[in-house]
């Protein structure tokens, strides 16, 4: 745990290789061991046919032995051909011993390969997750969740598979090929040429098919995604479907897409069966030719029966791995794409503090004053200004209300304050206790500016863990205290598992209001000096809203409170109320002042009180 290599998070990976090597840290030794054992597997696999050939020729038959030195030494040590003739079990024992060595090497190969692969997988995931956690919020807003998750899951798997399965098998096949051909050459060069002539053909056609199959798979995936989305939408929108009586339409939509998807797969199956049949044909032809020519050479006397049997075994070892070769080559391009997709994330710039960022103390008088100084902001792709020359001051310890219509820029103000959005150079300044927030450490800033969002996010943990997530050490008493202020304690007590109730997919689903209240408790337990409630009571009813606000007075004591709301009742007790209209401040003051003003605030007030 915690083995993530701490390094410059904004390291740029210029090439695919750079990044792969980065992820391979700590795995390389395992892969090296795996490759060494892979060589041994091939070597041991190749010994037995030799022994069989020898057995047939020199033990069962009477041919002279022509084994290479090492093996001859083994045979001699076992007593020589003559001795073995009457002691066949010894030959069997040798076969088993060789197989045992082969099996042990195979075991070690797989084991070390898996060690490396799993370490690699962990490295990739940890690094990606950590990187994503530190990417700026704007990056998250720009990139689709589904897409990022796909990069982190299927692309990561693809790269892992490629490096640990395909690349190692490339090594293995290569070694096997060289050794097998070497042994085969030793038996009969002519026959080896015939057998080897097929190899490039096999590689080429499997490359051809794998490319086609890869494309077809991708198409099928796309169609599956569409089908899955239709089902997903139908299920999440089941109330709408029913309420509009559109079941038939949904059915047609699903069935049509289902048909398309199925057709893609049937086409894929056609390709696959074509591939398999071609494989069968070529390897069948190759084996046939080896059988026939082998027989011919034996008859002509350039081979013995034992040679023939050994040669056929070697040949049988080759066909499958060589087919793999084509696959590996075609996977290479896919893996390349996946690496690029991951590289996109890893090369995105993470949030960074200025080199000499500070942590200004908040305690002293005036230390926590927030000043918005001619702030303007435009979204990355937007043309219209979301905020246009907004200036105001929030005194430390005061309560400020912000009222504004949809899209008036209320939330943007708060996102800027928390540096979720970065204020551009020419967009004015926001200062906290006189220090430009751009010069403050982001983590320090966010620890001091607590925020309850309109659509709060709960983690899939228990309620208690959710509440104390930002304050590790909090005990049950503190958790309950915070929940009580947020008017949540009773609700939680009514759950059968109380505070241990699990939230999210595998647990209860909380209502919007309950989520908001949990988020409020989450903030209260931290007691940050500045608290922002971004429309965070919108989903609770007026009664609970009132209850919470009364209780909040106690919980927010001494803190600066910024309230964003639609309800006048929520805001009217604030020391200062700012009314935002299309990115500009249209009026500000206390409740009474604003009522007297007769502006937007007054209008809204009248609407809400008189209906």
Partner 1 sequence: MNNEENKNVSLPWFGVPKILPYAKPYKKIIIRMVLLGILSSAIDSIYPLFNRYALDHFVAGKTLQGILPFVLLYMVVLAVQVADNYISVYYGGKVEMNIDRDLRNAAFNHLQTLSFSYFNQNNVGYVHARVMSDTGKIGELIAWRMMDLVWSGSYILGVLAVMVMMNLRLALYVLALVPVAVILIIFFQKKLIVLNRRIRETNSKITGNFNEGITGARAVKTLVVEDRIQEDFERDTEDMRKTSVHAVRYSALFSATVTMMSAFALAIVLWRGGKLTMENVIQIGTLSVFMSYALGMMEPIQNIIGTFSGIIAIQVNIERFSRLMETESDVADTPEVIEKYGDTFHPKKENWEELHGDVEFKDVSFMYPDGNEYVLEHFNLNVPHGTNVAIVGETGAGKSTLVNLVCRFFEPTMGDVLIDGRSARERSQLWLHSNIGYVLQTPHLFSGTVRENLQYGKPDAGDEEIWEALKLVSADGIVKRMEKGLDSEVGEGGDMLSTGEKQLLSFARAILADPRILVLDEATSSIDTVTERAIQDAISVVIKGRTSFVIAHRLSTIVGADVILVVRDGKIIERGKHEELLKAHGYYYELYTRQYEEMVFSGKV
Residue 124 has which token pair? Answer: 């990739």
**Half-sphere exposure at residue 313, Cβ-oriented, CA atoms within 13 angstroms:** 17
Interactions with partner 1, residue window 514-543 (CB under 8 A): 514, 522, 535, 538-543
Token representation of residue 218? 């991708």
Q: Judge whether 71 and 7 are in contact, CB under 8 Å.
A: no
Site for partner 1 in 542-581 (CB under 8 A): 542-544, 546, 566-569, 572-573
Helices (H), 162-188: 167-187
592 binds partner 1 (CB under 8 A): yes
Q: Out of 333, 434, 459, 596, which residue is the one contacting partner 1 (CB under 8 A)? A: 459
446 contacts: CB under 8 Å, gap ≥ 6: 418, 419
Q: Is 49 within 8 Å of 389 (Cβ atoms)? A: no
Are the C-beta atoms of residues 370 and 393 closer than 8 Å to each other?
Answer: yes
Cα 422 from Cα 404, distance rounded (Å): 22
Distance between CA atoms of residues 481 and 536, nearest Å: 19
Stretch 115-174 residues interacting with partner 1 (CB under 8 A): 115, 118-119, 121-122, 125-126, 129-130, 132-135, 137, 140, 145-146, 148-149, 152-153
- x-or-dash string of contact with partner 1, 38-57, rule CB under 8 A: ----------x---x--xx-
When asked if residue 216 is in the footprint of partner 1 (CB under 8 A), the reply is: no
Which of 22, 171, 217, 254 touches partner 1 by CB under 8 A? 254
Told to check if 509 binds partner 1 by CB under 8 A, we report yes
Of the candidate residues 241, 329, 438, 474, the single one contacting partner 1 (CB under 8 A): 241
Least separation, in Å, of the C-beta of 15 and partner 1?
A: 26
Residue placing its CB nearer to partner 1 in the complex, 192 or 283: 283
Query: Helix, strand, or coil here: 441?
Result: coil
Among 7, 69, 70, 245, binds partner 1 (CB under 8 A): 245
Give the angle 218-260-240 at the CA atoms, nearest 5°: 105
3 binds partner 1 (CB under 8 A): yes
Q: Which is nearer to partner 1, 99 or 435 (CB)?
A: 99
Return the number of the residue (320 or 332) whose C-beta is nearest partner 1: 320
231 counts as binding partner 1 under rule CB under 8 A: yes
Give the separation between CA 153 and CA 342, rounded to whole angstroms.
Answer: 10
Name which of residues 316 to 355 contact partner 1 (CB under 8 A). Answer: none
Q: At which residue do the structure tokens 């939509």 appear?
A: 253
For 9, residues 6+ apart whose C-beta sits below 8 A from its C-beta are 130, 131, 134, 350, 352
Question: Could you tell me which stretch among 8-16, 199-207, 295-303, 366-374 binds partner 1 (CB under 8 A)?
Answer: 295-303
Helix then strand then coil, % of the chain, to nearest 5: 65, 10, 25
Smallest separation (angstroms) from partner 1 to the CB of 416: 13
Residues 60-99 contacting partner 1, CB under 8 A: 60-61, 85, 88-89, 91-93, 95-96, 98-99
With respect to partner 1, which residue has the nearer C-beta, 190 or 365? 190
Determine which residue in the list 103, 197, 222, 337 makes contact with partner 1, applying CB under 8 A: 103
Question: Is residue 157 helix, strand or coil?
Answer: helix
Collapse the DSSP code of 536 into the 3-class scheme (helix H, G, I; strand E, B; otherwise coil) and give the result: coil
Q: Are 535 and 451 in contact (CB under 8 A)?
A: no
Are the CB atoms for 362 and 433 separated by under 8 Å? yes
* Cβ nearer to partner 1, comparing 267 with 374: 267
Distance CA 570, CA 537 (A): 9
Q: Which stretch binds partner 1 (CB under 8 A): 167-175, 177-185, 247-255, 394-402?
A: 247-255
Min separation Cβ 501 and partner 1, Å: 15
Provide the angle, in degrees to the nearest 10, between the axes of the packed helices 189-236 and 247-300.
Answer: 170
Distance CA 463, CA 522 (A): 10
User: Of residues 354-413, which lie at the interface with partner 1 (CB under 8 A)?
Assistant: 404-408
Q: Which stretch binds partner 1 (CB under 8 A): 174-182, 195-203, 432-440, 449-457?
A: 449-457
Interface stretch with partner 1, choices 208-216, 230-238, 370-378, 554-562 (CB under 8 A): 230-238
Cα–Cα dist 156/147, whole Å: 13
Q: Could you tell me the smallest distance in angstroms from the CB atom of residue 20 to partner 1?
A: 19
Under rule CB under 8 A, how many of the chain's residues touch partner 1?
A: 165
């Amino acid at each position: 745990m915690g083995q993530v290599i701490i390094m410059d998070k904004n390291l740029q990976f210029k090439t695919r290789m750079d990044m792969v090597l980065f992820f391979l840290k700590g795995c390389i030794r395992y892969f090296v061991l795996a490759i060494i054992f892979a060589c041994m597997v091939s070597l041991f696999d190749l010994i037995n046919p030799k022994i069989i050939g020898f057995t047939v020729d020199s033990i069962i038959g009477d041919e002279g032995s022509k084994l290479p030195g090492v093996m001859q030494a083994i045979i001699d040590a076992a007593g020589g051909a003559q001795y073995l003739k009457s002691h066949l079990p010894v030959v069997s024992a040798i076969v088993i011993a060789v197989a045992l060595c082969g099996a042990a090497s195979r075991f070690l190969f797989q084991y070390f390969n898996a060690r490396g692969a799993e370490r690699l997988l962990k490295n990739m995931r940890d690094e990606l997750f950590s990187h994503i956690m530190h990417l700026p919020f704007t990056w998250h807003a720009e990139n689709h969740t589904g897409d990022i998750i796909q990069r982190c899951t299927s692309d990561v798997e693809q790269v892992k598979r490629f490096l640990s399965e395909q690349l190692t098998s490339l090594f293995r096949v290569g070694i096997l090929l060289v050794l097998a051909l070497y042994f085969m050459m030793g038996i009969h060069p002519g026959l080896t040429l015939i057998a080897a002539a097929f190899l490039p053909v096999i590689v080429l056609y499997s490359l051809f098919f794998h490319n086609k199959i890869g494309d077809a798979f991708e198409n099928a995936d796309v169609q599956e995604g569409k089908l899955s989305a239709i089902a997903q939408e139908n299920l999440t929108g089941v109330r709408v479907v029913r309420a509009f009586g559109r079941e038939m339409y949904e059915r047609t939509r699903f069935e049509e897409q289902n048909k398309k998807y199925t057709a893609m797969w049937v086409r894929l199956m056609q390709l696959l069966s074509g591939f398999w049949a071609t494989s069968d044909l070529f390897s069948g032809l190759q084996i046939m030719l080896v059988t026939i020519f082998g027989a011919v050479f034996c008859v002509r006397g350039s081979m013995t029966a034992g040679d023939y049997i050994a040669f056929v075994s070697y040949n049988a070892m080759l066909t499958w791995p060589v087919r793999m070769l084509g696959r590996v080559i075609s996977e290479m391009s896919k893996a390349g794409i996946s690496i690029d997709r991951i590289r996109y994330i890893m090369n995105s710039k993470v949030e960074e503090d200025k080199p000499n960022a500070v942590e200004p103390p908040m305690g002293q008088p005036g230390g926590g004053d927030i000043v918005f100084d001619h702030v303007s902001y435009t979204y990355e792709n937007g043309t219209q200004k979301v905020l246009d020359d907004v200036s105001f001051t929030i005194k430390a310890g005061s309560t400020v209300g912000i009222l504004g219509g949809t899209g008036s820029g209320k939330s943007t103000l708060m996102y800027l304050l928390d540096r979720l959005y970065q204020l551009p150079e020419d967009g004015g300044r926001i200062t906290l206790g006189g220090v430009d927030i751009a010069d403050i450490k982001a983590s320090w800033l966010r620890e001091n500016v607590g925020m309850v969002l309109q659509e709060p996010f709960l983690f899939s943990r228990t309620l208690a863990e959710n509440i104390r997530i930002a304050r590790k050490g909090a005990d049950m008493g503190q958790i309950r205290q915070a929940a009580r202020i947020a008017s949540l304690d009773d609700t939680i007590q009514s759950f059968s598992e109380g505070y241990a109730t699990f939230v999210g997919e595998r647990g209860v689903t909380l209502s919007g209001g309950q989520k908001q209240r949990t988020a409020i408790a989450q903030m209260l337990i931290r007691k940050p000096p500045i608290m922002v409630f971004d429309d965070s009571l919108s989903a609770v009813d007026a009664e609970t809203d009132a209850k919470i606000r009364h209780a909040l007075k106690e919980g927010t004591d001494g803190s600066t409170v910024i309230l964003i709301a639609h309800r006048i009742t929520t805001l009217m007790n604030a020391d200062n109320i700012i009314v935002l209209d299309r990115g500009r401040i249209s009026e500000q003051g206390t409740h009474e002042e604003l009522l007297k003003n007769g502006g937007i605030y007054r209008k809204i007030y009248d609407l809400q009180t008189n209906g």
